[in-house]
């Protein structure tokens, strides 16, 4: 038994370690070396351990642990790598080290503890639903392992036969399943009901890794060869209503870049508007209570929009977005252009002059929030007229102070003042670029006529670029001092940043304030969940031009749209389903917060009040029916009506009386089949005697049996007890008597005597 249990313990510890490692590797946050080590060394060490070929070298083991620890410290403090990833990889190496040497009980216990920390590490890094499988598998393996570890502990253990060994493992399995259900039940209960306070006392101390995305805070025009299209998901967006979604151009805006030096676009100057909504609860600990706030970003002047642009806004003009943002290396808050409000669990929101939204919390961790954007745009004719009207009133910087063009249509945004206008009209002032800029200006002049209104100019330039230039991600050739010039006149191909830069520059040269906006373009919809998936490869840049008192979007990049319609392949469908599961995981598990708890509680309350009102209604109807039954109707002679309320209890009593009695008997311990129960002891006695080779013969009465074995040595030694048993059987079976408590105890002691005795017993006692 000893060998089998210890072997089972060893393999279960291996299994536990394997499950926890698998859970950590499935997070896909581990570096390639750590993952490779785990995948190759773990099975190798398992193989050698199963063959008994591992040895124990304590000094080497301890030395390596110290080495790994020192390495991890260096990675964290000097290389500034992510704390959680460093810890996770250290745990992997530590666990592999324990696997590499021969193990005693202490080592097995250390592996059990390490595997727990590996699971904990996985919980801090996991981003998709595969964590759930590892979690459940870990609970099962842990209960099994700990149970085995406990029962193999200590000296003086009983010896078990093969049948008992089987029974032991069967019972251990039952215990494991029971513990799994209890642990999962508690995990679910805690998850649903434990209040999400997010104390954030040590906020910022423990951060996870942030994804690198195609989205950047700056746009640098450089020839970097082929750009890798990264399919990792950046965010998921649910949009409502469908009417607004049709008007939406599919753009998710992140940044507005106004400053251009000829190669690089960056955010403009000006202090961002800060909206702070929280307050420190305690100055000492600086605890914050994070709740959802609604931040007002833009206040459209509805009357002005209607009067000047003929825009009649309705609910279908506003696009509601629910955005599930992954952990990014950016603090941008993304939303469709013209974001009116953002509802998020953020203590502060910064709004730059370019209407770029940023969160102020320390981490770029994943978050979910809602945004409301105005997607309705004026008709082109109204826009053209409005922009022409504004031109007449615009003054360029070099002609003196600017006068406000027209009544601002978004009063909450500061009107385009002089510095901002200048910034968005600025052409790079580098003598080396002068020649190139002249060429670009000439080209802009040739595309757009001087008399054209700004809107028409913008549309012409947009169209020109879309038709005459091609899209590529592979920018070849030598670096140019003026990339825009090179794009427009030499290569004639590029990606969205080139197209946007060229258009923005040309518009500025035509006197239209313009800037480059960066974000994502969305066109991948997951039909399973009815949401849009935004990936890193969907990063995009476009142009925003100021005309008619508003910033309007223009996209000069020729876009190859995905083929509309067509059924996805089987693999595609499977991928969509998996992606949907991940979305549900993100939305309802990782994103489960206090609002979710309130909603859940509210829905439970509504459901229960609906149920109770249904019941009340039914009871009321019943009562009314009963009352009507009592109401006299003197105009007719009626047969007497038996009140319904009296019939039901009587019926219930009649029907359930049988079950009621059984229930009472069960509670008070009175069993129906008394005869069988009270004579079971004699059956047990016969079984014991048969085991000793003294079986009762067919047709032999208990008294005859007792007399027969009384002649034998065994019977002589325990003659009185034998007679007592036989008499007790006759009394209970045929005379209907009950044994007293003392007699029952004597019966049990007699059975033990017969089972255990070798004939030299003096006394026997029970509790």
Which residues inside 18-77 make contact with another protein, applying CB under 8 A?
none
CB of 705 to another protein, least distance (A): 18
CB of 767 to another protein, least distance (A): 5
Distances (CA, A) of 399 to 299, 388, 396, 549, 740: 31, 19, 5, 20, 118
Binds another protein by CB under 8 A, chosen from 78, 202, 570, 659:
202
Residue (115 or 576) nearer to another protein, CB: 115
Could you say whether residue 757 binds another protein (CB under 8 A)?
yes
Distances (CA, A) of 7 to 10, 13, 152, 164, 413: 5, 10, 10, 17, 72
Q: Which of 359, 376, 377, 378 has the alpha carbon at shortest distance from 368?
A: 359
Give the DSSP per-residue string, 329-345. S--EE-B-SSEEEEEES
Could you say whether residue 1 binds another protein (CB under 8 A)?
yes
Residue (697 or 765) nearer to another protein, CB: 765
State the Cα–Cα distance between residues 204 and 638, nearest whole angstrom.
83
Give the DSSP per-residue string, 674-727. HHHHHTHHHHHHHHHHHHTT-PPPTT--HHHHHHHHHTSHHHHHTHHHHHHHHH
Binds another protein by CB under 8 A, chosen from 33, 43, 63, 189:
189
Could you say whether residue 167 binds another protein (CB under 8 A)?
yes
Could you say whether residue 135 binds another protein (CB under 8 A)?
yes
Which residues on adjacent β-strands are paired with residue 471?
Answer: 494
Q: Which of 298, 311, 127 has the alpha carbon at shortest distance from 209?
A: 127
Binds another protein by CB under 8 A, chosen from 82, 110, 123, 597:
123
Which residues inside 641-700 make contact with another protein, applying CB under 8 A?
667-669
Residue (119 or 722) nearer to another protein, CB: 119
Could you say whether residue 184 binds another protein (CB under 8 A)?
yes
Only one of the segments 64-72, 170-178, 477-485, 627-635 lies at the binding site for another protein (rule: CB under 8 A); that segment is 170-178
Residue (247 or 755) nearer to another protein, CB: 755
Could you say whether residue 284 binds another protein (CB under 8 A)?
no
Classify the phi-psi angles of 309: left when phi > 0, otherwise alpha if psi is within -120 to 50, otherwise beta.
Answer: alpha
Could you say whether residue 191 binds another protein (CB under 8 A)?
yes
State the Cα–Cα distance between residues 555 and 75, nearest whole angstrom.
44
| Site size toward another protein, by CB under 8 A | 78
State the Cα–Cα distance between residues 181 and 187, nearest whole angstrom.
10
CB of 168 to another protein, least distance (A): 5
Q: Which of 76, 75, 122, 73 has the alpha carbon at shortest distance from 95?
A: 122
Could you say whether residue 102 binds another protein (CB under 8 A)?
no
Whether the CB-CB separation of 537 and 230 falls below 8 Å is answered with: yes
Only one of the segments 48-56, 181-189, 418-426, 502-510 lies at the binding site for another protein (rule: CB under 8 A); that segment is 181-189
Q: Which of 523, 527, 520 has the alpha carbon at shortest distance from 575?
A: 527
Burial 293-327 (b: 16+ CB within 10 A, else e): bebebbebbeebbeebbebeeeeebbbbbbbbbbb
Q: Which of 291, 131, 116 has the alpha carbon at shortest distance from 199?
A: 291
Task: Name the strand (E) or helix (H) holding 89.
Answer: helix 83-100
Residue (514 or 689) nearer to another protein, CB: 689
Binds another protein by CB under 8 A, chosen from 105, 157, 598, 641:
157
CB of 167 to another protein, least distance (A): 6
CB of 136 to another protein, least distance (A): 10
CB of 25 to another protein, least distance (A): 16
Could you say whether residue 185 binds another protein (CB under 8 A)?
yes
Which residues inside 731-750 make contact with another protein, applying CB under 8 A?
741, 744, 748-749
State the Cα–Cα distance between residues 594 and 600, nearest whole angstrom.
10
Residue (50 or 680) nearer to another protein, CB: 680
Phi, psi of 157 (to 5 degrees): -80, 155
Only one of the segments 180-188, 251-259, 278-286, 391-399 lies at the binding site for another protein (rule: CB under 8 A); that segment is 180-188
Only one of the segments 32-40, 148-156, 327-335, 491-499 lies at the binding site for another protein (rule: CB under 8 A); that segment is 148-156
Whether the CB-CB separation of 494 and 487 falls below 8 Å is answered with: yes
Take residue 296 and report the two structure tokens written for it. Answer: 């007002």
CB of 354 to another protein, least distance (A): 31
Could you say whether residue 227 binds another protein (CB under 8 A)?
no
State the Cα–Cα distance between residues 336 and 699, nearest whole angstrom.
94
Residue (188 or 379) nearer to another protein, CB: 188
CB of 584 to another protein, least distance (A): 13
CB of 154 to another protein, least distance (A): 6
Residue (224 or 738) nearer to another protein, CB: 738
Take residue 281 and report the two structure tokens written for it. Answer: 């609860």
CA angle 564, 568, 569 (to 5 degrees): 150
* Strand locations in 432-570 (E): 470-471, 474-475, 493-494, 514-521, 524-526, 531-535, 539-547, 550-554
Residue (100 or 114) nearer to another protein, CB: 114
Residue (163 or 478) nearer to another protein, CB: 163
Residue (427 or 589) nearer to another protein, CB: 589
Q: Which residue has the tokens 């595997």?
A: 115
Q: Dihedral angle at the C-alpha atoms of 576, 571, 535, 459, nearest 10 degrees?
A: -90
CB of 720 to another protein, least distance (A): 15
Only one of the segments 6-14, 155-163, 213-221, 311-319 lies at the binding site for another protein (rule: CB under 8 A); that segment is 155-163
Only one of the segments 88-96, 187-195, 492-500, 501-509 lies at the binding site for another protein (rule: CB under 8 A); that segment is 187-195
Binds another protein by CB under 8 A, chosen from 17, 143, 216, 536:
143
Distances (CA, A) of 252 to 234, 333, 584: 12, 10, 21
CB of 306 to another protein, least distance (A): 44
Could you say whether residue 707 binds another protein (CB under 8 A)?
no
Residue (530 or 676) nearer to another protein, CB: 676
Could you say whether residue 106 binds another protein (CB under 8 A)?
no
Only one of the segments 197-205, 292-300, 321-329, 438-446 lies at the binding site for another protein (rule: CB under 8 A); that segment is 197-205
Only one of the segments 176-184, 435-443, 475-483, 517-525 lies at the binding site for another protein (rule: CB under 8 A); that segment is 176-184
Binds another protein by CB under 8 A, chosen from 99, 139, 311, 512:
139
Could you say whether residue 177 binds another protein (CB under 8 A)?
no
CB of 534 to another protein, least distance (A): 22
Q: How many residues does the chain have?
A: 767
Give the DSSP per-residue string, 251-289. EEEEEEEEEE-SSEEEE--SPPEEEE----S-TTT----
Other C-beta atoms lying within 10 Å of the C-beta of residue 665: 12
Q: Binding marks (x or -) toward another protein, 561..590, rule CB under 8 A?
A: ----------------------------xx
Three-class SS of residue 153? Answer: coil
Binds another protein by CB under 8 A, chosen from 10, 183, 397, 422:
183
Could you say whether residue 204 binds another protein (CB under 8 A)?
no
State the Cα–Cα distance between residues 547 and 455, nearest whole angstrom.
7
């Amino acid at each position: 038994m000893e060998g089998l249990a210890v072997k089972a313990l060893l393999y279960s510890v291996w299994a536990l370690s394997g499950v926890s490692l698998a859970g950590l590797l499935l997070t896909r946050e581990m570096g390639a070396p750590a993952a490779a080590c785990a995948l190759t060394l773990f099975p190798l060490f398992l193989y050698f351990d199963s063959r008994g070929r591992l040895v124990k070298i304590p000094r080497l083991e301890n030395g390596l642990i110290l080495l790994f620890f020192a390495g991890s410290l260096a990675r964290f403090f000097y290389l500034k790598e992510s704390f959680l990833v460093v810890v996770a990889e250290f745990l992997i190496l530590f666990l592999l080290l324990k696997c590499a040497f021969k193990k005693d009980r202490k080592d097995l216990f250390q592996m059990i503890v390490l595997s727990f920390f590996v699971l904990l590490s996985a919980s801090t890094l996991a981003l998709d639903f595969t964590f759930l499988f590892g979690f459940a598998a870990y609970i099962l393996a842990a209960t099994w392992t700990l149970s085995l570890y406990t029962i193999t502990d200590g000296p003086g253990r009983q010896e078990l036969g093969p049948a008992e060994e089987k029974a032991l493992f069967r019972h251990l399995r039952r215990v494991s399943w029971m513990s799994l259900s209890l642990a999962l039940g508690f995990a679910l209960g805690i998850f649903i009901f434990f209040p999400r306070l997010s104390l954030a006392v040590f906020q910022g101390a423990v951060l996870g890794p942030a994804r690198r995305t195609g989205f950047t805070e700056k746009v640098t025009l450089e020839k970097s060869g082929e750009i890798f299209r990264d399919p990792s998901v950046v965010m998921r967006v649910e949009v409502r209503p469908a009417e607004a979604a049709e008007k939406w151009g599919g753009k998710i805006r992140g940044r507005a870049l106004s400053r251009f030096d000829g190669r690089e676009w960056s955010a403009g100057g000006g202090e961002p508007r800060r909206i702070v909504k929280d307050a420190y609860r305690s100055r000492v600990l600086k605890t914050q209570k994070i709740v959802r706030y609604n931040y007002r970003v833009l206040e459209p002047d509805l009357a002005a929009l209607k009067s000047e642009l003929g825009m009649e806004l309705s609910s279908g003009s506003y696009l509601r977005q629910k955005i599930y943002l992954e952990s990014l290396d950016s603090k941008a808050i993304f939303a469709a252009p013209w974001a009116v409000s953002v509802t998020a669990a953020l203590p502060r929101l910064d709004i730059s002059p370019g209407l770029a939204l940023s969160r102020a919390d320390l981490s770029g961790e994943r978050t979910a929030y809602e945004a409301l954007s105005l997607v309705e745009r004026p008709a082109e004719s109204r826009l053209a007229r409005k922009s022409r009207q504004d031109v007449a009133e615009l003054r360029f910087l070099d002609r003196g102070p600017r006068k406000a063009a027209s009544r601002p249509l978004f009063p909450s945004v500061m009107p385009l003042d002089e510095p901002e206008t200048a910034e968005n009209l600025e052409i790079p002032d580098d003598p080396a670029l002068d020649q190139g800029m002249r060429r670009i200006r000439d080209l802009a002049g040739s595309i757009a006529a001087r008399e054209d209104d700004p809107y028409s100019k913008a549309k012409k330039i947009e169209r020109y670029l879309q038709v005459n230039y091609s899209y590529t991600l592979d920018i070849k050739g030598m670096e140019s001092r003026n990339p825009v010039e090179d794009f427009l006149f030499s290569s004639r191909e590029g990606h969205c940043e080139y197209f946007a830069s060229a258009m923005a520059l040309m518009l500025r040269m035509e006197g239209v304030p313009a800037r480059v906006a960066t974000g994502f373009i969305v066109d991948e919809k997951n039909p399973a969940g009815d949401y849009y998936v935004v990936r890193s490869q969907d990063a995009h840049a476009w142009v925003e031009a100021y005309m008619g008192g508003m910033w309007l979007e223009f996209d000069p990049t020729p876009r190859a749209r995905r083929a509309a319609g067509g059924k996805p392949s089987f693999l595609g469908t499977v991928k969509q389903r998996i992606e949907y599961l991940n979305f549900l995981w993100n939305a309802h598990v990782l994103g489960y917060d206090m609002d979710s708890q309130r909603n859940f509680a509210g829905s439970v309350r509504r459901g229960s009040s609906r149920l109770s009102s249904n019941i009340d209604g039914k009871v009321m109807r019943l009562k009314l029916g009963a009352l009507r039954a009592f109401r006299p109707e003197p105009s007719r002679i009626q047969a007497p009506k038996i009140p319904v309320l009296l019939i039901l209890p009587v019926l219930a009593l009649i029907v359930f009386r049988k079950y009621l009695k059984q229930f009472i008997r069960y509670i008070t311990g009175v069993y129906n089949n008394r005869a069988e129960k009270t004579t079971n002891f004699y059956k047990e006695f016969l079984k014991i005697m048969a085991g000793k080779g003294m079986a009762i013969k067919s047709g032999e009465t208990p008294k005859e049996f007792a007399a027969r074995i009384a002649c034998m040595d065994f019977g002589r030694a325990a003659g009185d007890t034998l007679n007592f048993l036989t008499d007790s059987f006759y009394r209970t079976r045929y005379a209907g008597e009950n044994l007293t408590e003392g007699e029952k105890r004597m019966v049990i002691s007699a059975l033990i005597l017969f089972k255990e005795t070798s004939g030299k017993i003096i006394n026997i006692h029970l509790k």
